[in-house]
Amino acid sequence: MCNTRSNQLALPLPSLCHPFQKLRHIYIMEKNIQEKDDEFYMTFVTLNVEDCLFRVPRCTLESQSQIFRDMFSLPVPKSEPLEGSTNENPLFLPGIEAQEFRLLLGVLFTSAFGPQKNLPKSPDEWLSVIKLARMWEFDDIHKSSVKMVPYHSVKKSPVEKVALAFQHDIKEWLVPGLDELAKRPEPIGIGDVDLLGLDVALKVNRVVG
């Protein structure tokens, strides 16, 4: 815990105690700053998900996701404030849950900065990461996250797993899922069509029927 009552910290620095020396010091500091480093001078972006604000390095999102890269490259009129530049003008990400986004960021930043405790703990949490990684084209995260969720670790029906495999591009689930459906005594029904969608249900029926 910080000690804000430290007498040592309260003492003025001798070389800066005179006002002209302070101004000269500030001027020299500003004069010596010539350029911003391309790699380690980071711009942060504020994102609003379910009215919860997240502030993360923009370059990390850009480097990992084609969708965010395209989003940040869109031209902005000079008369308008840049979306995501402040808490008062965040970039809104509608249609997703804050906890889903939190899990994705946990995976995104764990490899470089964060502790392992930020990683998803359950198959369902990993599926949330896979869903967003697929939607926003975080290809590396999608690939690594799929490995964390073996087919038989998920407590869902074969139809639900096949539906997720098609929705979130989990190719590793298709063969075991279709194999289970082929061994099922009942044919593809209305409830299955609701889960799979008509196009996928017809494809599945051709394979297992």
- CB neighbours (10 Å) of residue 134? 18
**Does the residue 203 lie in any domain?**
yes
Q: Is residue 43 part of a domain?
A: no
Please give the tally of structural domains in the chain. 1
CB 89 within 8 A of CB 45: no
How confident is the model over 4-25, as pLDDT tens digits?
A: 444 444 444 444 444 555 555 5
Q: What is the pTM of this model?
A: 0.76
In 3D space, the residue among 84, 94, 102 whose CA is nearest the CA of residue 45 turns out to be 84
What DSSP designation does 197 have?
-
Residue 40 within any structural domain of the chain: no
Which residues form the domain of 193? 155-208
10 Å CB burial of residue 128 (0-12, 13-18, 19+) is buried
Residue 178 forms part of a structural domain: yes
In a domain, 37, yes or no: no
Nearest of 101, 135, 93, 95 to residue 118 by alpha carbon: 101
In a domain, 90, yes or no: no
In a domain, 193, yes or no: yes
Q: Using the Cα atoms of residue 187, residue 188, residue 189 and residue 192 in order, give the sign of their dihedral.
A: positive
Distance CA 35, CA 14 (A): 30
Residue 168 belongs to a domain: yes
> pLDDT of 101-158, one tens digit each?
999 999 998 865 556 777 999 999 999 999 999 999 999 999 999 999 999 999 999 9
